[in-house]
Structure 1
Amino acid sequence: MRGLMGRTAICILIILFAATAVAAAQTGDDAVTEGNITEIYSTIDTCDITLTSSSTIEDLVIDVQLVHEDRIIDRETLNVDRINANSRTIKVIRWNVKTSEDGAYKVLVQLLNNEEEIASKEYGFVHGRQVIPEVVIEGTIANSEGVTAVIRPVKATLVDIDYMLVDGTDVIYLAKDEKISIHTTPLTVHKRWNTLLLNNREYTGLVKVRPSDEVNAIVVTDSFSSMDDAKITDVYKDEIGASATIEGGSQVPFDGYVRFTVYDHDGENVVESVIMRSPILLTGDDETVEAIWENRLREGKYRLVIEIIGNDGDVLDIQETMIDVEKSVTISNDITEVVEENNSSPSFLITQAVLVLAAVGFVLRRRNIR
């Protein structure tokens, strides 16, 4: 009996040790997968850091150091409010380096939670090396619609291109083009921001070009102040009213107005003025806005001015044109009397009928043209 109890106790202890070991292993895996620094890329100007997590974690801090010859030459601390489960968060910082000596640099990144390190990573790069790159970015322009860059090849190669929209230190939009072929002529690339922007906010467009057989990439940035935008693409007008087709040109929602103003021929006196609310427009959206004059325009020539009024009350686009109102042609009962007076002449009746039909056809045709 005592031997049986002893063997039972040993089995229980073995089971407990195994369970403890499994729990410890699972805890260690969670510690590794919750809050990872998966990628770092840095130049002497900027650094982007990609974070991932297998579960939702909050209230994190990133400590980033730029080191050259064992000296910390710049340091940034960023707060990360939240990393959602199975997603990634990208942070971008700008180094404040007054002098940039040639040589090797290191970037040391720590991810902290409640002042406790949960992940760390190191990245090294060389600045100022005398090596001819495979491609050169000639220039970049970012605005509220998207970002455009011109890439000039030094030799034929394949490149991967990242497009980032940065709000402060947060990358709020990321797109990629992979294995883009560049031969002997410059390549212009463009990417639209497929996310909504706030009006009058400072953003930065970032383009990163990485040749397929090089470790280092070329990074350029361009900052801009976001604003709504729209333009007039088509106009119709007559003596009854006018319409304008409006096309959006920004990821800041356009929620403004279209103003139609009719002046006399000399452009001194306002004859009609109508302000219409436009539907909300984003890049590539188009809508037609119509206005009806309070009074039908009389015969004469008029000047029409159509203005797009933006969210801030500024004029985004303007188009001027003319309205030519011709004298209306009316067919009276006198024709019937003429016909009755000339019943004795069939050829005259035929001639008069042809003239009447031609006049009616002319009027209808002119109206359709207008």
Structure 2
Amino acid sequence: MKGGISKLAIFVLIMLFTTTAPVSANTGNGADTVVEIEEIYSTIEACEVVLSSSSTVEDLDLEVQLVREDRIIDRATIPIDSINVNSRVIKVVQWETKTAEDGAYEIRVQVLNDEKEISSTEYKFVHGRQVIPEVVIEGTISNSEGVTAVIRPVDATLVDIEYMLVDGFDVIYVAKDEKVSVHTTPLTVHKRWNTLLLNNKEYLGLVKIRPSNEVAAIVVTDIFTSQDDAKITDVYKDEIGASATIEGNSQVPFDGYVQFTVYDEKGEDIVESAIMRSPILLTDDDETVEAIWENRLHEGKYKLVIEIIGNDGDRLDIQETIIDVEESATKKNDIPEQVEEENSLPSFLITQAALVLAAVAFVIRRRNT
């Protein structure tokens, strides 16, 4: 048709727009508020949406749909309390798909205010049958301490690596390593969560790698349940008492106990026991917890069991060892009896003095080792 545009030309223009600019947003009806959908990335497992606004906005809803051949497979509506001016909000959706057929998928995104659309866009991706990337993520493990991933290079390249900790729809921690060199051997990367976690709560760890020569990113996710954790790194023991150095290994604050139990040589009868509160520990924190026996151990061999009791009363770590008390050790700190009745101290003062001296001797001996 002369002076016009053919249907084929219009179709080509639409395809070019949706392919080259999948995250451009359509702002709604001349409203003062402009919310931009800056970025979308999705796999069959999870979808990431990045929003920004030219002004502070409140009470929004983000509608995200996973579509396969015009059929909605999964959807999520995410309330957004506010977006501050010149700030970014990241939301993550975990898809709950019973099937993962190879082929083309579509993500449809809408930003709503009082059920009125103010921004929308679409994003397409292919699951399976993908072109071989420059790097492959061989595996990832997320836990209460952090996230670890193994990257295998196909070709030598530089990559940007982004680490995310997700609580529900919200990204509560983000860290990034830029221009990481990946050569001929697998590379192990690790990032610690520098934020506090709640005990027995489910989180999602996400690793996104973008090779320098590729537009698309590679994303892997791993769900974990956070738990407090601590371990015994050092032990000191003698006839007066014992101590254990405890190291935290989780971003869930450890607020538990250390239990010391002394058994006879056969490990049957309890001779001494003490349970001591531990200082609060996070990852890489360490503290020494000490216990003094009520009675000095006599000459002989004893079995010592030290246990770390977690926030929920579960046993996090245990260490067993032997206390070997020699005859000289049982006498060197004894206090001689007073012979003269007139000048002698009351017996309860002597007992207290003996306990104080024993505690001081234990601490000094512990620090000198």
Same fold (TM over 0.5): yes
Once residues 30 and 327 of structure 1 are traced to their aligned partners in structure 2, the CA distance between those partners, rounded to angstroms, is 87
Matching residue of 1:256? 256
Once residues 267 and 72 of structure 1 are traced to their aligned partners in structure 2, the CA distance between those partners, rounded to angstroms, is 64
CA deviation map 1:167-197 (0-9, x unaligned): 1121111111111111110000101000000
Matching residue of 1:280? 280
CA deviation map 1:206-251 (0-9, x unaligned): 1111111111111111111110000000011111111110000000
Say which SS state the counterpart of residue 301 (structure 2) adopts: strand
Cα pair distance change 1:325/1:102, threshold 3 Å: closer
Say which SS state the counterpart of residue 328 (structure 1) adopts: helix
Report the alpha carbon displacement of residue 71 of structure 1 after superposing the two structures with TM: 4.3
Matching residue of 2:33? 31
- Amino acid in the other structure paired with 2:184: T
- Amino acid in the other structure paired with 1:66: L
Matching residue of 2:269? 269
Matching residue of 2:8? none
Matching residue of 2:297? 297
Once residues 241 and 163 of structure 1 are traced to their aligned partners in structure 2, the CA distance between those partners, rounded to angstroms, is 45
Once residues 293 and 97 of structure 1 are traced to their aligned partners in structure 2, the CA distance between those partners, rounded to angstroms, is 59
The reply to whether residue 198 of structure 1 matches residue 204 of structure 2 is: no
Unaligned runs of 5+ in 2: 1-29, 333-364
Once residues 245 and 207 of structure 1 are traced to their aligned partners in structure 2, the CA distance between those partners, rounded to angstroms, is 34
Map 1:213-362 to 2 at 5 A: 213-328=213-328
CA deviation map 1:304-363 (0-9, x unaligned): 1110000000010000111111112879xxxxxxxxxxxxxxxxxxxxxxxxxxxxxxxx
The reply to whether residue 124 of structure 1 matches residue 129 of structure 2 is: no
CA deviation map 1:27-75 (0-9, x unaligned): x79522xx33221111222110112235443321011123344444433
Matching residue of 1:20? none
Cα pair distance change 1:100/1:325, threshold 3 Å: closer
Say which SS state the counterpart of residue 239 (structure 1) adopts: coil
Matching residue of 2:135? 135
- Amino acid in the other structure paired with 1:255: D
Cα pair distance change 1:123/1:318, threshold 3 Å: same
Say which SS state the counterpart of residue 297 (structure 2) adopts: coil
Once residues 59 and 31 of structure 2 are traced to their aligned partners in structure 1, the CA distance between those partners, rounded to angstroms, is 21
Say which SS state the counterpart of residue 33 (structure 2) adopts: helix
Say which SS state the counterpart of residue 178 (structure 1) adopts: strand
Once residues 226 and 72 of structure 1 are traced to their aligned partners in structure 2, the CA distance between those partners, rounded to angstroms, is 32
Bigger helix share: 1
Once residues 70 and 244 of structure 2 are traced to their aligned partners in structure 1, the CA distance between those partners, rounded to angstroms, is 64
The reply to whether residue 46 of structure 1 matches residue 20 of structure 2 is: no
Q: Structure 1 stretch 298-307 or stretch 54-63: which is displaced more?
A: 54-63
Once residues 180 and 321 of structure 1 are traced to their aligned partners in structure 2, the CA distance between those partners, rounded to angstroms, is 45
- Amino acid in the other structure paired with 1:31: T
The reply to whether residue 74 of structure 1 matches residue 74 of structure 2 is: yes
Cα pair distance change 1:130/1:314, threshold 3 Å: closer
Once residues 322 and 174 of structure 1 are traced to their aligned partners in structure 2, the CA distance between those partners, rounded to angstroms, is 46
Report the alpha carbon displacement of residue 291 of structure 1 after superposing the two structures with TM: 0.6
Say which SS state the counterpart of residue 31 (structure 1) adopts: coil
User: Is the CA contact (8 Å cut-off) linking 2:33 and 2:55 kept in structure 1?
Assistant: no
Matching residue of 2:152? 152
Once residues 299 and 85 of structure 1 are traced to their aligned partners in structure 2, the CA distance between those partners, rounded to angstroms, is 73
CA deviation map 1:138-195 (0-9, x unaligned): 1111100001111111111111111111111211111111111111100001010000
Cα pair distance change 1:289/1:106, threshold 3 Å: same
Once residues 173 and 320 of structure 2 are traced to their aligned partners in structure 1, the CA distance between those partners, rounded to angstroms, is 38
Say which SS state the counterpart of residue 197 (structure 2) adopts: coil
User: Is the CA contact (8 Å cut-off) linking 2:52 and 2:87 kept in structure 1?
Assistant: yes
CA RMSD of aligned residues (A): 2.3
Unaligned runs of 5+ in 1: 1-27, 332-366
Report the alpha carbon displacement of residue 101 of structure 1 after superposing the two structures with TM: 4.6
Say which SS state the counterpart of residue 294 (structure 1) adopts: coil
Once residues 179 and 106 of structure 2 are traced to their aligned partners in structure 1, the CA distance between those partners, rounded to angstroms, is 28
Say which SS state the counterpart of residue 216 (structure 2) adopts: coil
Cα pair distance change 1:242/1:86, threshold 3 Å: farther
TM-score (norm 1): 0.77
| Identity, % of aligned positions | 77
Matching residue of 1:113? 113
Report the alpha carbon displacement of residue 85 of structure 1 after superposing the two structures with TM: 4.2
Matching residue of 2:177? 177
Task: Kindly tell me the number of residue pairs found equivalent between the two proteins.
Answer: 307
- Amino acid in the other structure paired with 1:141: I
- Amino acid in the other structure paired with 1:67: V
Say which SS state the counterpart of residue 63 (structure 2) adopts: strand
Once residues 98 and 249 of structure 1 are traced to their aligned partners in structure 2, the CA distance between those partners, rounded to angstroms, is 35
